[in-house]
Structure 1
Amino acid sequence: MTEQTVASDSVEVPAAADQGSLHDWPLRPWLLAALLGLAGLLIHFATQDSGQVAWRMALAAFLFFGPIAAAFTIERERWKEPAIFAVAVGLVMAGLTWRAVRYGEYLPDEQYGFAAGVVATALALPLFQADFHRRRLQTPYSEIYGHVWTDAISAAGALAFTGLSWLVLLLMSELFHLLKIDLLRDVMDEEWFGWTFSGLAAGAALGTIRNQLKVLATMQTVVLLVASLLAVPLAVGLVVFLLATVVSGPQVLWDATRSATPLLLACAAGSFVLANAIARQDDEAMTRSRVMRVAGLVLAAVILPLAVFAAFSMGQRLSQYGLAPERLWGLVAIVVACVCGVGYWVALIRGRRTGWATQLRSATFHFTLFVCGFAVLLALPILDFGAISTRSQVARLESGRVPVDKFDFAALRWDFGEPGKRALERLAKSRNSRVAELAGAALAQKERGYWDLDRSVRAEEDFKLRVQPDDPDLRRLVLDHLRDYSSLCAEACVALDLGVGEAGGRRIALVSGSTYQLIELGGKPRDVDSRPPRMITDDSQVEIRPWTGRRIYVDGEPFGEPIE
């Protein structure tokens, strides 16, 4: 099949990329439906046991990502290489999943490492489809570009069809329910059915869509045209924003919101997508509208300023709070945005005479390779952001840059992984009694507490606790419990001794705010207001009976429900 080029605002259909993908393959919908349906059923069996077992989650990831990669790449005349690629994708994602589940308690950022693997896989897919593993840097950009948009549209269409299939199935089940036939309802309630039916529907839709070259080309044209329309107002808005920021000073970003960095990076990402939507895959496919071409040039140029302002905003936050795993991942995003911005500026400068769009496509090609490789590096257990952040935070504490009472010991306990816990164990042995006390309190926590905006660990004197009757031994037991569950007793509270509990421990009522909790020390708190109310039915016997028991009174008035 020859290469097809559509003039003006249409797009070029990649012809050199898998020839098999451009021909109708009648078995494709059936094959992909069977593949993804079977994968869904096996995922159910892999995850049906309660709890997250590392090897089961890894197997589920392999069964999820591997078949999806195969569904996008397998062809009638070419199946061996796609099969190897799908197995490789499945094994990589299974390994990342196993690490995230098996060592999630010891890692501060397991979800980010997994996300980096997903990004690397998503970028590797169009590269593989364009035969990058054979042609490498000689791979035509137009083919990669075509596969990116084709894959995105195919995935969106498959997801939409899957949702509609569930809606039709639901309507059918309700229709048959009117006839007292609940077979379909019963089947839908089975846990295995959801994964299997979703896989069947998504596979059938994906296979059908990828068989329709003309439909995909038309949809791709429409999507790019709509994106091009968004480019003009976004370009104008970002130029006005950047000019206003230069006049007012970047400090205004920090003063206005603490979300400046993600907002700026989101704008940079949007500019990247829309600039490439206008640049298309070659000059012939670009829009003839001068306004849109200028908008695309502007969007490519503003990525670097947006990344610089995002870096300034992040620098302000790091100066105030120091490093943390999430902030390091934010720095990673800023580095990626800066690399893209610098590359685009170089492309625009070099393209003053030869055409900026041509240079921009070349820069996008190399930027894609950089991000794919960088994502693989970040997904591997090479850089320990928890250890890096822990060293930074402890250095700030020991140097006196952060007062002891303002230091977030709980962050080391809950957000920095195993390096943070080891640092707390060392700080708990500090010669500074205040540091040792707060570090020990953080280590003892059994749930994350948010006491105030500055820190979430409280020493014993921080609790406004009154024990009735005043018993030193009982007070010690209550304080030990509050240190474990520091979210309790956020305000003034009173612990009432209720005697010996069912398990032989000390039973108390912890009164705080507008409610109270019954606690048997050594157990978990139970909120008395969480008991489900009894509902009256037609056969309910309603009567009034005398009642005696104990309840709490505050200032002479009944407080909450009776204790017993």
Structure 2
Amino acid sequence: MTDAIEATGRNSLGRTGSPLLVAARLAIGLLQGGALWWLYRSTRDGGAMTWPATQPELFGPLAMILVMVPVLMLAGVGRMRWPVLLGWAVAATAFLALVGWHGVASQTTGEYGPGRYPPFLPWPMPLFAATALFIGHHLVLPADMERRWIAAFPTYFDTAWKAGVQLVLSIGFTGAFWLLLFLGSALFNVIGLHFLGDLIAKDWFSIPVTTVVFSVAVHLTDVRDGLIRGVRSVVLMLLSWLLLLMTVLAAGFLAALPFTGLEGLWETGSATALVLSAAAALIILINTAYQDGRADNLPPAILRATVRVAAVLLTPLVVIAFWGLALRIGQHGLTPDRIIAFACALIGAAYAGGYGFAALQPFWRKGAAWMHPLEKTNVWTAVLEIAVILALFSPIADPARLSVADQVARLERGAVTPDKFDYAFLRFESGKGGEAALARLTRSRTPEVARRAKDAQAADNRWEARQAAREAAFVPVVGVWPAGGALPPRFLGSDPRDNDIFACRKTGDCVATVRDWNGDGVAEVLIARRMNLSVHQQQADGRWAKVGDYWLGACRGRPSPDVREELKAGRLSPSPARWPDLATGSRAAARFREEEPDCDAAAAAIQPAPVSAPSR
């Protein structure tokens, strides 16, 4: 079979070592490097962006096309017929153009601001796009090699796993090349020669050299085809024995669930991701054991039995993933991450159904080939994966658009209260659709919704928006001493950042009292925490603001007393400083801080800190 694959893989360029093939791959690498250098320069030409970086909807797709399509050409040249290779390159370009354009066009400049940063592609779209192209390439290549629409499964297996090993080795070769260049640069720098360091710092050199070296690595690994297959065989053999461990772990996890329940899994907040990761690991390891399915590649009996068990375990794992996802969506609605997780679970369900059928087939069909239905499952699920990726990262099933619609609907029907709604998601994480929805919410008939939506619009970044929302919803827990006392009416209604009480989250964190602390006849509010006492004063506009605080100093190796308990015991009082303030002639510059205050000295019970101006 291997000889047949090699024979059908030769096209008009001849054998893998032919000079024409070498020239073709070097030309692809050089052209790719030049194009990427031109694209890179457009983002920082003299400190300002130039075309095409000034056109995000063009720059984003073009960046993905110039990175990924030449790699497909490197992998296909010499193995695919030219018409098929060119047709596949055009199809891949169209695919990347669509998902890249949609990814950029649906985004907003958001917190970055127009023109401040190069155009960007939303993560993880480039990763999924690369995955779809890898899958697609290894559906097209075997079909062309065998001159039929659906190739034999051994051909799919051989080409895909060989390409995976080649890719890893080529990336490693390129990385080693650069490590040696940096080492050489360091050696020359030691003797005062900086030409190599200056050269590799030039983008016109580093980018084309990287792509050319990568193309050389691809060709070298292709020439030594037998060596690559040998490495692949060793890798598959080692990974296949890890299937035993993973199967035992998955079986033990599922067996323990009836006794432990699922609450602990749900409380992690990442149950679906964990379970789907376990299922993905099983799928990969099952394939390392099955390999191409030929009789001369059958694994030992213990691995064949393990493959059957692992294939059956996929179904409960995928069911748990769907269950956890359904609970999260029911509680908190759709988000882009949950939609992508649902898509991954859907693909996992396709694998689980096919693999489970293959594992259980002998129970109703005697003499059936071992796990043979797995082959069709892999091929058709690969097609499904491409379709799902295309849907997710195009207008068909855009996760951001679906999430915005669902979240706003939940707000409108009362499934989430205005104070719990994530306005920052609409502002910064859901593109133009989210910004449009947020603009509509600013005109809401519900005053709180409109106010919070306007606050989110005014925020400079997502962290500021979420922090403002948390602070707006925050109700400080402050104990009043003496018991039964009350704080001034407007005190707790002020901005908690001004009041320095944002840390008062639970009973006992803070103890407050109302006292005339500076003897001016007007009462201040004192808030005691574990190691400090803050002083709050009412301003002319009626707003309360922190004006300063005291920190309990170290007590010559003795533990510092709790300021809250000192306040309750009545042991806190103003005390004249034993040392004068330091003045600059125009204002008090600093208060004196004793190195190791004596806790037995009454004047040092609480050490004063510099008084800050009221927060604005």
Contact 2:36 2:66 in 1 (8 A): yes
Residues 269-307 of structure 1, C-alpha deviation per residue, up to 9 Å, x if partnerless? 111111011111123243441111122222222222111
1:44 corresponding residue in structure 2: 37
User: What letter is aligned with 2:284?
Assistant: V
Contact 2:548 2:610 in 1 (8 A): no
1:231 corresponding residue in structure 2: 243
2:424 corresponding residue in structure 1: 410
TM-score by length of 2: 0.71
Please point out which of 100, 104, 107 is paired with 1:104.
107
Residues 156-191 of structure 1, C-alpha deviation per residue, up to 9 Å, x if partnerless? 110110111111111222222333322111101112
Given the alignment of the two structures, is residue 373 of structure 1 paired with residue 387 of structure 2, yes or no? yes
Residues 183-202 of structure 1, C-alpha deviation per residue, up to 9 Å, x if partnerless? 11110111222211211211
Structure 1 residues without counterparts, runs of 5 or longer: 6-12, 468-491, 498-508, 515-545
Please point out which of 143, 146, 157 is paired with 1:145.
157
- d(CA) in 2 for partners of 1:423, 1:273: 41
Residues 114-133 of structure 1, C-alpha deviation per residue, up to 9 Å, x if partnerless? 44322221111111111269
What does 1:193-208 correspond to in 2, within 5 Å? Answer: 193-208=205-220
1:191 corresponding residue in structure 2: 203
2:404 corresponding residue in structure 1: 390
Quick one: structure 1 residues 19 and 178, their matched pair in 2 at CA, closer, same or farther if it must change by over 3 Å? same
User: What letter is aligned with 1:247?
Assistant: F
Where is the helix percentage greater, Structure 1 or Structure 2?
1
Quick one: structure 1 residues 70 and 560, their matched pair in 2 at CA, closer, same or farther if it must change by over 3 Å? farther
- d(CA) in 1 for partners of 2:376, 2:83: 31
- d(CA) in 2 for partners of 1:427, 1:435: 7
- d(CA) in 2 for partners of 1:95, 1:232: 42
2:173 corresponding residue in structure 1: 161
1:463 corresponding residue in structure 2: 495
Please point out which of 9, 31, 37 is paired with 1:18.
9
Given the alignment of the two structures, is residue 347 of structure 1 paired with residue 358 of structure 2, yes or no? yes
What does 1:162-177 correspond to in 2, within 5 Å? Answer: 162-177=174-189
Give 3-state SS (helix, strand or coil) of 1:121's partner. Answer: helix
- Identical counterparts, % of pairs: 24
Q: Which moved more, 1:281-290 or 1:49-58?
A: 49-58
2:518 corresponding residue in structure 1: none
1:81 Cα deviation (Å)?
A: 2.5
Ranked by relative contact order (alpha carbons within 8 Å, sequence separation 6 or more), the top structure is: 1
Please point out which of 335, 347, 355 is paired with 1:324.
335
User: What letter is aligned with 1:464?
Assistant: P
2:273 corresponding residue in structure 1: 262
1:109 Cα deviation (Å)?
A: 9.4
User: What letter is aligned with 2:9?
Assistant: D
Give 3-state SS (helix, strand or coil) of 1:406's partner. Answer: coil
Quick one: structure 1 residues 513 and 420, their matched pair in 2 at CA, closer, same or farther if it must change by over 3 Å? farther
1:249 Cα deviation (Å)?
A: 2.7
1:66 corresponding residue in structure 2: 69
Residues 206-234 of structure 1, C-alpha deviation per residue, up to 9 Å, x if partnerless? 10101112112111111110111211111
Residues 72-92 of structure 1, C-alpha deviation per residue, up to 9 Å, x if partnerless? 000188334323322432343
Contact 2:36 2:63 in 1 (8 A): yes
1:113 Cα deviation (Å)?
A: 4.2
- d(CA) in 1 for partners of 2:155, 2:309: 25
User: What letter is aligned with 1:46?
Assistant: L
Contact 1:4 1:14 in 2 (8 A): yes
Give 3-state SS (helix, strand or coil) of 1:25's partner. Answer: coil
- d(CA) in 1 for partners of 2:258, 2:464: 37
State the Cα RMSD in Å.
Answer: 3.7
Quick one: structure 1 residues 447 and 224, their matched pair in 2 at CA, closer, same or farther if it must change by over 3 Å? same
1:308 Cα deviation (Å)?
A: 1.0
1:310 Cα deviation (Å)?
A: 1.1
Give 3-state SS (helix, strand or coil) of 1:111's partner. Answer: coil
Structure 2 residues without counterparts, runs of 5 or longer: 111-119, 475-492, 500-533, 540-544, 551-582, 592-606
Contact 2:106 2:431 in 1 (8 A): no
Given the alignment of the two structures, is residue 89 of structure 1 paired with residue 92 of structure 2, yes or no? yes
Given the alignment of the two structures, is residue 309 of structure 1 paired with residue 320 of structure 2, yes or no? yes
Contact 1:33 1:204 in 2 (8 A): yes
Contact 1:158 1:202 in 2 (8 A): yes
User: What letter is aligned with 1:44?
Assistant: W
1:17 Cα deviation (Å)?
A: 5.0
User: What letter is aligned with 2:327?
Assistant: Q
2:575 corresponding residue in structure 1: none
Contact 2:471 2:496 in 1 (8 A): no
User: What letter is aligned with 2:201?
Assistant: D
Quick one: structure 1 residues 136 and 397, their matched pair in 2 at CA, closer, same or farther if it must change by over 3 Å? farther
2:345 corresponding residue in structure 1: 334
